[in-house]
Chain A
Amino acid sequence: MQIKPILAALKRHKAGTLLIALQIALTLAIVCNALFIIHQRLDRIARPTGLDENNLMAIQNRMVGVEDKESGPLIRADLAALRQLPGVEDAISVNSYPLRGGGWSTGVHLNADDKKSKAHTTLYFSDEHTLATFGTRLVAGRNFQADEIGEADPKEVGDPAVVIISKALSDKLFPDSSALGKPIYIGDTKKPSTVIGIVERLQVPWNGNWSDTFYDNAIIEPYRLVSTFTNYMIRTKPGQLSAVMASAPAALYKTNRMRVIAPKNGIRTFAMVRESAYRADRGMAVLMGVVCAVLLGITAAGIVGLTSFWVGQRRKQIGVRRALGATQRDILSYFLTENLLIGTAGVLMGALLAIGMNLWMVTQFEMARLSVTYVLVGVVALLLLGQCAVLAPAMRASRVPPVEATRSV
């Protein structure tokens, strides 16, 4: 197909050409960035917590009318009641759990004198039932023993002799070997804790940007915190979750009525915890997805509209070409090539715009850099979209009969 005559014809339709190219460019820029946001968010949602999520539930409990120090026996009684419930596999009292949103975090040092910490981590405080309740797999070492578990006021937690850490933290602290059996310093303490076990995976309680650098780093310390506020985590036997959701709070109130389990977020299955933690991420992905789809639709429709107009305007011209021997294919490929030219100009502008837009968003919104793959995929997608959109009007053009040449106007 000769490109020169097409360019010459486009020169006579500067405004329309520019509008389509501009629309393609902007669409590409937005779609690339939107896809990138979607991918980032979906990646985050897909991060495993390391828990047996399908059989887990959490109860947020607040004892009433007692001091923090007096709540130890109450918590023990609660745990005993929960663990005896039919359908319950195991249960713990813990300061926080993955995706909960709030918890403890601190730096880990390899030597007592190190000024800078080697890694950042979250701290979970619970007892020897933790691994069985979370459902996280021990990949090295051993679990806590009952006699290693202490009880402490949150403000009086000491440095534990032994800890279990996540594999990610182990790898970060000791890239070349295992942390098992090694001493680590949690916070700015002088007293080391020995790593006695490593679990396959355990996520931090947060899922926002700020914890992205250490989202798999966790330490379990062998303390039951003695506080009026605690989270009970319950792992049920398969299929028993809904039954325990009903029986667990009843059992707790039976043990002791002076407590508050908030009606709003007091009792949640882990699925609910996950849903509320990732609501914003999933919503953002859905929103961006809808925007992309509608945008592509509108751009395609715009191309169809303007090309149809051009075809209508050039009916006589097309008739003359046909009369002079152009085949239907020639006419079809004329319009396809024309669209490809405009599209190419559009995607070139769009690629630059997409990268520029991303760079700006990086400075404004703590976003990551756009990978070139997205731009390339977007470029191909928009060129294809253009070709598909132009197909219908181009087919109509190719069916203009040669006799059109003889008609006036």
Chain B
Amino acid sequence: MFAYYFQLGLRSLRKNPLLTALMVLAIGCGVAASMTTYSVFRATANNPIPQKSSQLYVPQIDNWGPEDAAENKGEPPQAMTYTDATNLIRDHRAKRQTVLYPVSLSVVPNDAGLLPFMENSYAWYGDAFAMFDIPFLYGSAWSVADDNAHADVAVIGRTLNDKLFHGANSVGKDINLNGHTYRITGVVDQWNPSPLFFDVVNTNAFDDTTEIFIPFTRAVDLKISTNGNNNCNKDPGQGWDNWIRSECIWLQYWAELPNTADADAYRQYLNGYAAEQQRSGRFHWAPNTRLRDVTDWLDYQKVVPQEAKVSLLVSLGFLLICLINTIGLLLAKFMRRASEIGVRRALGASRKEIYAQFLIEAAAIGLAGGLVGLLLTGLGVIGVGLVFQPDIAKLATLDVKLVLLTLVLAVVATVLAAFYPTWRAAQIQPAWQLKSN
């Protein structure tokens, strides 16, 4: 029977090509707008490290006091001072931990004929590689001893390794960064979490891959200042040493806490730490700390751009209007065939069969709308670059999942829209036709 109804549906759609085109186009536009904006939303709302997102935490400590916090809904600053970060590292209360900040490192090639070039770089602790599940192509992270020795070691990315060493195993070789020589301990395989959860404060959460990692202890020795944000609530005084000891915040901190008990214990530790700072006279206020896991942190940092949310909402509203439009047009289309329905009912079609016939016709419209929508979504995904920053736009892709979702959404939405008109069609009494004559 399905084939019969499908065939009838197509025939009926061919009968008023204009009305059909209108419905198909409306559904196509609505679905395409929703899917295009959804593709961006999906990319930005992605969980970049699902296997560990509930084990990795960002601690925050209020070192500026309630006056500054009041301007930010009572939240502590979103970055940390050198003082607090190194104290937390020293106390070593988590399974693994790291402090990190973006540095600007230029690679000076051995070949004097080549120009220096820059790569995205971070200074952090060796623990970070295991914490963030970073895959290694060659070698491994540097050791705790290296961290403690402020060693001249580096881990580089696969792309940089391809560029400098033509993909060969470069572990043990030297690399010249800003005129200093570092020994390579490992080469990271493809790793570009999106959003860039470990440093959303200094990136806009979407950036190119990081190609160079050096020990935090070494970077501080070399007085490499942050390539990211530095915020001071008062004048830090002059020079590096004053700055490092100041209340300026410029560091991100991550702790790995395998279970909730660990996290609770860490929360207590943070409050205890802040209380201790209060006792020692550094803080003149009660402890105000936070501990957020990856998902909460991304949420709090509003990683999903406002544009992505607003345009998704507007698109869904748009789809809703298209569906209301479709309800009206389907109603007109179905009711125009009242006589046909009356005759079919008289010839023995039950209500169920009328439902089947018209819902299948609607599904055919939905499918056509979905195909048009797919085409428009394809164009939309290409056009995403017009609305969003290139780093975000390139994340929006038309993959198999999106294709299926587009078609399913179109068909389901249209069939839902068709329920009322179909119900009306099924209410038509078989006798009605005889009477009107």
Instruction: Indicate whether A and B are direct neighbours in the complex (CB within 8 Å).
Output: yes
A286–B387 contact, CB under 8 A?
yes
User: Which residues on B sit within 8 Å (CB–CB) of A259?
Assistant: 116
Residue of A nearest to B310 (CB): A365
**Of listed A23, A34, A37, residue having the most chain B CB within 10 A:** A23
Binds B, one of A168-176, A290-298, A372-380: A290-298
What are the interface flags for B321-335 relative to A under an 8 Å C-beta threshold, 1 for contact and 0 otherwise?
Answer: 110110111011101
B309–A365 contact, CB under 8 A?
yes
The A-contacting residues of B in range 80-134, CB under 8 angstroms, are: 104, 106, 108, 115-118
**Of listed A66, A228, A298, residue having the most chain B CB within 10 A:** A298
**Known A20-B328, A306-B329: A156·B239 in contact at CB below 8 Å:** yes
With the chains together, A308 CA to B19 CA distance in Å? 10
User: Which residues on A sit within 8 Å (CB–CB) of B389?
Assistant: 279-280
B436–A409 contact, CB under 8 A?
yes
User: Which residues on A sit within 8 Å (CB–CB) of B420?
Assistant: 15
User: Which residues on B sit within 8 Å (CB–CB) of A19?
Assistant: 324, 327-328, 331
**Known A30-B321, A312-B336: A288·B239 in contact at CB below 8 Å:** no
User: Which residues on A sit within 8 Å (CB–CB) of B321?
Assistant: 23, 26-27, 30, 295, 298-299
Residue of B nearest to A158 (CB): B238
A155–B328 contact, CB under 8 A?
no
**Known A22-B324, A155-B243, A189-B235: A260·B329 in contact at CB below 8 Å:** no
User: Which residues on B sit within 8 Å (CB–CB) of A294?
Assistant: 29, 33, 318
User: Which residues on A sit within 8 Å (CB–CB) of B317?
Assistant: 26, 29-30
B163 an interface residue at 8 Å Cβ cutoff? no
User: Which residues on A sit within 8 Å (CB–CB) of B240?
Assistant: 155
A72 an interface residue at 8 Å Cβ cutoff? no
B178 an interface residue at 8 Å Cβ cutoff? yes
The A-contacting residues of B in range 299-331, CB under 8 angstroms, are: 305-307, 309-311, 314-315, 317-318, 320-322, 324-325, 327-329, 331
The A-contacting residues of B in range 382-396, CB under 8 angstroms, are: 386-389
The A-contacting residues of B in range 409-437, CB under 8 angstroms, are: 420, 424, 436-437
B118–A260 contact, CB under 8 A?
yes
B325–A260 contact, CB under 8 A?
no
A305–B388 contact, CB under 8 A?
no
B388–A280 contact, CB under 8 A?
yes
What are the interface flags for B212-238 relative to A under an 8 Å C-beta threshold, 1 for contact and 0 otherwise?
Answer: 000000000001010000000011101
A139 an interface residue at 8 Å Cβ cutoff? no
B106–A305 contact, CB under 8 A?
no
B26 an interface residue at 8 Å Cβ cutoff? yes
User: Which residues on A sit within 8 Å (CB–CB) of B335?
Assistant: 309, 313
A381 an interface residue at 8 Å Cβ cutoff? no
A309–B336 contact, CB under 8 A?
yes
With the chains together, A302 CA to B30 CA distance in Å? 14
B325–A23 contact, CB under 8 A?
yes
B17 an interface residue at 8 Å Cβ cutoff? no
Residue of B nearest to A304 (CB): B22
**Known A64-B116, A301-B26: A23·B307 in contact at CB below 8 Å:** no
A37–B310 contact, CB under 8 A?
yes
User: Which residues on B sit within 8 Å (CB–CB) of A26?
Assistant: 317, 320-321, 324
Please classify the interface of chain A as helix (H, G, I), strand (E, B), loop, or mixed, using the class held by over half of its residues.
helix
The distance from the CB of A359 to the nearest CB of chain B, in whole angstroms, is 14
With the chains together, A34 CA to B318 CA distance in Å? 11
B106–A260 contact, CB under 8 A?
yes
A404 an interface residue at 8 Å Cβ cutoff? no
With the chains together, A294 CA to B117 CA distance in Å? 47
User: Which residues on A sit within 8 Å (CB–CB) of B322?
Assistant: 298
The B-contacting residues of A in range 220-268, CB under 8 angstroms, are: 228-229, 253, 257-260, 262
A405 an interface residue at 8 Å Cβ cutoff? no
B50 an interface residue at 8 Å Cβ cutoff? no
With the chains together, A298 CA to B81 CA distance in Å? 56
Residue of B nearest to A284 (CB): B307
**Known A15-B420, A287-B387: A298·B305 in contact at CB below 8 Å:** no
A188 an interface residue at 8 Å Cβ cutoff? yes
What are the interface flags for A13-57 relative to B under an 8 Å C-beta threshold, 1 for contact and 0 otherwise?
Answer: 001100110110011011001100100000000000000000000
With the chains together, A153 CA to B241 CA distance in Å? 13
With the chains together, A16 CA to B309 CA distance in Å? 32
The B-contacting residues of A in range 374-404, CB under 8 angstroms, are: none
User: Which residues on B sit within 8 Å (CB–CB) of A295?
Assistant: 318, 321
With the chains together, A76 CA to B299 CA distance in Å? 45
B306–A366 contact, CB under 8 A?
yes
A301–B29 contact, CB under 8 A?
no
B324–A361 contact, CB under 8 A?
no
Residue of A nearest to B320 (CB): A26
With the chains together, A295 CA to B325 CA distance in Å? 10
With the chains together, A37 CA to B311 CA distance in Å? 11
B281 an interface residue at 8 Å Cβ cutoff? no
A15–B238 contact, CB under 8 A?
no
The distance from the CB of B184 to the nearest CB of chain A, in whole angstroms, is 19
User: Which residues on B sit within 8 Å (CB–CB) of A280?
Assistant: 305, 307, 387-389
B348 an interface residue at 8 Å Cβ cutoff? no
The distance from the CB of A100 to the nearest CB of chain B, in whole angstroms, is 14
A306–B328 contact, CB under 8 A?
yes
The distance from the CB of A37 to the nearest CB of chain B, in whole angstroms, is 7
Q: Lowest 9 CB-CB distances: which A-B pairs, in order?
A: A283-B387, A309-B332, A65-B179, A302-B325, A19-B328, A64-B106, A156-B238, A64-B116, A260-B118
| 17 pairs, CB–CB < 8 Å, chain A vs chain B | A19-B327, A19-B328, A23-B328, A26-B321, A34-B314, A153-B239, A155-B242, A155-B243, A283-B387, A284-B307, A287-B311, A301-B26, A301-B325, A302-B325, A306-B332, A309-B331, A408-B437
Sample of 5 more A-B contacts, CB < 8 Å, known A295-B321, A305-B328: A15-B420, A155-B238, A288-B314, A313-B335, A364-B309
